[in-house]
Structure 1
Amino acid sequence: MPGVTDEAATPTAPRPRLIATDLDGTLLRDDKSVSPRTITALAAAEKAGIEVCFVTGRPARWMGVVSDHVHGHGTAICANGASVVDLHRGGELTEVRPLAEADALAVVTALRAVAPAVTFAVERTAGIHYEPHYPPFHLDPAATVAPVTKLLSAESGHADEPVLKLLAHHTELDPDEFLSLARTAGGHRADFTRSSPSALLEVSARGVSKASTLARWCAARGIEAADVVAFGDMPNDIEMLSWAGTSYAMANAHPEVLAATTHRTASNAQDGVAMVIEQLLHAL
């Protein structure tokens, strides 16, 4: 099949029970749309008895782009595993794995010590809030803008909303160097990853990742890792791709993702996920 490598030509799982796919840079095209071909492939997979679960760094409120294309259970894993949402119920949270404010503050202190120009945002269950010099989120006009110490305090006005993740942005550091630096400085208090082409880090509670939440969700349904086919493109996908029985890196994937997977497919712009689903269903 054009655009799919030899490794992807014959999916190794005899009959997968679940397709777990990242969104940005993977399932979605660069304009953040779901192509007609991909919509058809997702529906065909569900019709064949293969569930589809979106596993993304996005918060629940940014899932409208795919909410119409979730079938069956309607579940999505958001915020890099910090929340599980029911898209059939408008993004209702069904599980939260929060980052403790004390750990978030410890990370702030650690990163400020090694990268003084870093700025922070706090992603809570009901929205995002950020520091004055942090790149503004135009999709969240109701965000509170204040120093991160206030955003993580009882004075924030949002203390009753659990923290899903801390975001750390730097304007000068190389993204991968920033990630390595942060893990060394604060890795004992939280887990660090990245999914943006810029030096933007995503900080979750220790042990919280796409992989760990997906594994918990699958275990509750009797789905083993060998039953899962996963797709991704960035470092925040690596653990999930390593856990799944069969995994595919997009042609546009980060070098570390390409190194962590044995299967390849075409880029997100070429409907690489749909290509594999079509071929898998044809084999079945």
Structure 2
Amino acid sequence: MGEDGAVTSASQRPEGPAPVTRLIATDLDGTLLRDDKSVSPRTVAALAAAEAAGIEVFFVTGRPARWMDVVADHVHGHGLAICANGAAVVDLHAGREFVQVRALPRDDALSVVHALREAAPGTSFAVELTTGIHYEPAYPPFYQDPGATVAAAEKLLHEEPAGSAAPVLKLLAHHTELAPDAFLSLARSAADAHASLTRSSPTALLEISGHGVSKASTLALCCAERGIAPEEVVAFGDMPNDVEMLRWAGTSYAMGNAHPDVIAAASGRTVANEEDGVAVVIERILAERLAR
């Protein structure tokens, strides 16, 4: 571990001078946020300093738009955040308005439901729409969403006529007995022909998006619109839903509290979220920029 608290594997660094950082992409829970879901003063200052230095900051999270209040005040110039594991780009300056939606087709969601009911009996489901979440009776209820409709997934996913209902951002699948990684592996074997499956929870809760939809693919679209290359991006994460993004970015950091798959995917490592690991790296980036 270096003096600034960040660890980077030199064997994974490209030869020659490091590219100039133009965009920072960071996960929220377990990464930017502390365990109590707060943003520390040190991290607030680091984010503001990055923006002042001309580096765009994107929050890239599995959270839905309605759960973004915790960081809304810390989005600066562009105002955008990537939510629901890449299924939505949201303008937090405009009341969490959806700028882009990459929906999960309802037929594909139903195919996943049927595949997981067969492969993992006892799975319960929730459906995350652009308008809110709804779930099955056996699914753990969300205290944040007391107005949710409770019904079988097949009913929640039904629309008549076609195209009349709100877009599906994510299907969520929960199991009370399977280990989280085992559930993800089983689900991918059974249903990855229909959708993209990942997880960010410490429990056996899977997040299912449209085929090819991920934090990485939506971040790539946002960067392409800005003329930003992958090597100009620094990314941070801690859970399997961050793996593709960390592999895509030119420089990436696994948090000190990260899942083993995240550590393997990232090009470097920083300290844990409770120790302001994202801020540690941002401060170093800015110090190196000043020293040039």
Offset of residue 261 of structure 1: 1.4
Shift of 1:90: 1.3
Rounded to whole Å, the distance in 2 between the matches of 1:259 and 1:5 is: 13
1:7-66 alpha-carbon deviations (Å, 9 max, x no partner): 49x997432100000000000000000000000000000000101000000000100000
Q: Distance in 2 between matches of 1:154 and 1:273?
A: 42
Aligned partners of 1:197, 1:6: CA distance in 2, in Å? 26
Q: Distance in 1 between matches of 2:239 and 2:32?
A: 12
SS in 2 for 1:29: coil
The equivalent residue for 1:282 is 287
Identity across the alignment (%): 69
Contact preservation (8 Å) 2:109, 2:171: yes
- What residue in structure 2 maps to residue 113 of structure 1? 118
- The one-letter amino acid paired with 1:256 is D
- Aligned residue in 2 for 1:68: 73
The alignment status of 1:263 with 2:268, answered yes or no, reads: yes
C-alpha offsets along residues 121-142 of structure 1, whole Å, 9 cap, x if unaligned? 0000010000001000000111
Residue identity opposite 1:75 in structure 2: L
Distance 2:71 2:95 in 1: 12
* Equivalent residues of 1:242, 1:261 under 8 A apart: yes
Native 8 Å contact 1:153 1:159 kept in 2: no
Aligned to 1:30: 35
Which runs of 5 or more structure 1 residues have no equivalent in the other structure? none
Cα gap change, 1:278 to 1:61, in 2 (>3 Å): same
1:232 to partner: Cα distance: 0.3
Displacement after TM superposition at 1:268 (Å): 0.3
Q: Deviations over 1:116-164 (max 9, x none)?
A: 10000000001000000100000011110111110001279x9521000
Contact 1:23 1:55 in 2 (8 A): yes
Residue type at the aligned position of 1:242:
R
Please tell me whether the aligned partners of residues 3 and 266 of structure 1 are also in contact (alpha carbons under 8 angstroms). Answer: yes
Residue identity in the other structure for 1:151: L
1:148 aligned to 2:150? Answer: no
**1:217 equivalenced with 2:228 (yes/no):** no
Q: Distance in 2 between matches of 1:5 and 1:82?
A: 31
Contact in 2 for aligned 1:152/1:159 (Cα 8 Å)? no
Deviation at 1:5, TM superposition (A): 2.1
Assess if the C-alpha contact under 8 Å between 2:133 and 2:145 holds in 1: yes
Aligned with residue 3 of structure 1, among 2, 5, 12: 5
Distance 1:160 1:94 in 2: 18
Q: Which runs of 5+ in 2 are unaligned?
A: none
Structure 2 match to 1:180? 185
Letter in 1 for 2:7: T
TM-score by length of 1: 0.96
CA–CA separation in structure 1 for the residues paired with 2:190 and 2:53: 47
Report the alpha carbon displacement of residue 260 of structure 1 after superposing the two structures with TM: 1.0
Q: Paired residue for 2:140, among 121, 135, 143?
A: 135
Distance 1:132 1:244 in 2: 40
CA contact (8 A) 1:85 1:91 kept: yes
* 1:199 equivalenced with 2:197 (yes/no): no
Please state whether the residue corresponding to 1:154 is helix, strand or coil. Answer: coil
Aligned residues between the structures: 282
- Three-state SS of the structure 1 residue aligned to 2:226 is coil
Corresponding residue number in structure 2 for 1:245? 250
1:47 match: 52
Q: Is the 8 A contact 1:13 1:245 kept in 2?
A: no
Question: Which residue, 176, 179, 203 being the options, matches 1:171?
Answer: 176
The one-letter amino acid of 2:201's match is S
